[in-house]
Chains A and B, each alone.
Chain A
Amino acid sequence: MPRTEADEPRISEGVAELLGTALPDAVGLTVSGVARVFGGNARRAWSATASWTDADGGHTADLILLVRLSGSQVRTDPADEIRHLTGLAEQGVRAPRVWAHDGDGHLFGMPAVLLQRMAGRGDAVEYLRADPELGRARTLDLARAAAELHAASPSTGPYDPGAQLEQWRSQFLASRLEPHPALGWLLDWLTDHQPAIERTVVVHGDFRVGNVLYDGPHITGLLDWEMAHLGDAAEDLAWAYRALWSPVRFCSIEDFVAAYADAGGAAIPADSLRWHRVFSEVKFAAISLAAARSLVDGTSTNLRLADRARTVVPAVNLCLSWIAAAEQTARSEAGAAC
């Protein structure tokens, strides 16, 4: 079972034990200031500070412990998150350093990861309500942060977009509470219209304003790497502009993609961006159905998940409108060519 506020002394002990595995030469390792912080719908989180001494002298590190919740709608393998995240901070990506992880959940009851606690504010509502000039500067810096991430050396291993689609199809089929033929149709459309991949990169997988830290116009950290994987860079850019959390008020997606390219990111063709926007909505729908099922099945008690099945409707409708518009354009162009 996940631990609660009453377990903080044991959280402190667990953090010390976990960090100790990464610091075999540390002497006098202590953990203090353990406090519950918001960890999202899928994980519980605690902040803490560790101090220790080794041959180089005294050290202090601000930490964040993330423990997966049972019934999480995110069904990724925690080991993948660690594999992709490890080493990114060292390459200049605005990602937290990975200190240690408890893959089998023996310390906290569920898989957990101990990360560097980064500086900055994290408040999506505040971000999206910012002064337009500040919001635009921050959003363009978010595009630069994406370019830095995608420029980092990818982890080893192949990327098979078809396998990724099948994984989301499987999650959809396992989670749905009714047939949802439109989602099945959209998954088929995605399979039949896959764009060519220019370069495989490490994709954050949940790249959006709700998962960043900021300080004024600067993005100081990218958070929540549970869905990180190898993939196409366009996936992160499209996900950042999902309607629910889109920063379009500050900056169009076209300007965002241009800023990404100016910062060294690859050029994203329009059809690839559209495909990934459809993919984003389908992914969101599959996650929403998993969330709704977890509440119905009783594996989650979070009432915020009660309304998630309804969010599938606008996601599907948006995809259908994009596809219908693209087909209309193609027919018009074909007509003009005749």
Chain B
Amino acid sequence: MLRPTPGELLAITRRELAEQVLPSLPAGAPARQLKAALHVLAQLERTWDLMPSYLAADNNDLRASLAELQRLTGISAPARRETAVEVPGVLDEALRTLIRDNEALQADLDEAQQAWRTSGRQDEIVARLLLDLHVRMGERARLAAGLA
């Protein structure tokens, strides 16, 4: 079963709630909650299927950048973490793996940049590598979040 796609279902649900339910609610907390829910549905509609490709690209960049950071600084990547952490709300095993890997790689980057800073050494190339990596990650996250 392919149709309606999850994106179509989200769009239909949002449309009907906006056109049928919202107008019948008086101003107040329930209407504010529904408007917020409609906003979330619109976000999901724009982004529901972007996460796998976003995470795959982010993970590849993180792995390559961490390896380059290790080459430049000699700071070793920490031992791989236990990856059986909970991933609430995700049923697909491949997507769960991508999310777990991304969280672990984010943590590795966090630790590596902390270790570099704590070392007190100065190196413009390392500084640029970290800044450029964060800029690329931010741009990918922006697209994946459906932000203009």
CB of A181 within 8 Å of the partner chain: yes
CB of A320 within 8 Å of the partner chain: yes
How many interface residues does chain B have, given as a range? 20 to 34
Partner of A303, one of B40, B110, B131, B141: B40
Question: How far apart are the CA atoms of A220 and B148 in the complex, in Å?
Answer: 35
CB of A184 within 8 Å of the partner chain: yes
Beyond A304-B32, A317-B139, whether A185 also contacts B43 by CB under 8 A is no
Residues of A within 8 A of B130 (CB): 185
B36 in contact with A306 (CB, 8 Å): yes
Question: How far apart are the CA atoms of A184 and B109 in the complex, in Å?
Answer: 10
- Which of A115-123, A135-143, A247-255, A307-315 faces chain B? A307-315
Question: How far apart are the CA atoms of A96 and B84 in the complex, in Å?
Answer: 53
Chain B 94-148 interface residues, beta-carbon cutoff 8 Å to A: 102-103, 106-107, 109-110, 113-114, 117, 130-131, 134-135, 137-139, 141-142, 145, 147
Task: Specify the chain B residue showing the minimal Cβ separation from A191.
Answer: B117
B134 in contact with A320 (CB, 8 Å): yes
CB of A166 within 8 Å of the partner chain: no
Question: How far apart are the CA atoms of A179 and B107 in the complex, in Å?
Answer: 6
How many interface residues does chain A have, given as a range? 20 to 34
CB of B37 within 8 Å of the partner chain: yes
Beyond A179-B110, A303-B33, A310-B147, whether A185 also contacts B134 by CB under 8 A is yes
CB of A178 within 8 Å of the partner chain: yes
Task: Specify the chain A residue showing the minimal Cβ separation from B136.
Answer: A320
B37 in contact with A317 (CB, 8 Å): no
B117 in contact with A317 (CB, 8 Å): no
CB of A134 within 8 Å of the partner chain: no
CB of A327 within 8 Å of the partner chain: yes
Beyond A188-B117, A306-B40, A310-B147, whether A179 also contacts B131 by CB under 8 A is no
CB of A180 within 8 Å of the partner chain: yes
Q: Which 6 A-B pairs have the closest CB atoms?
A: A303-B36, A179-B106, A317-B138, A181-B110, A181-B109, A182-B134
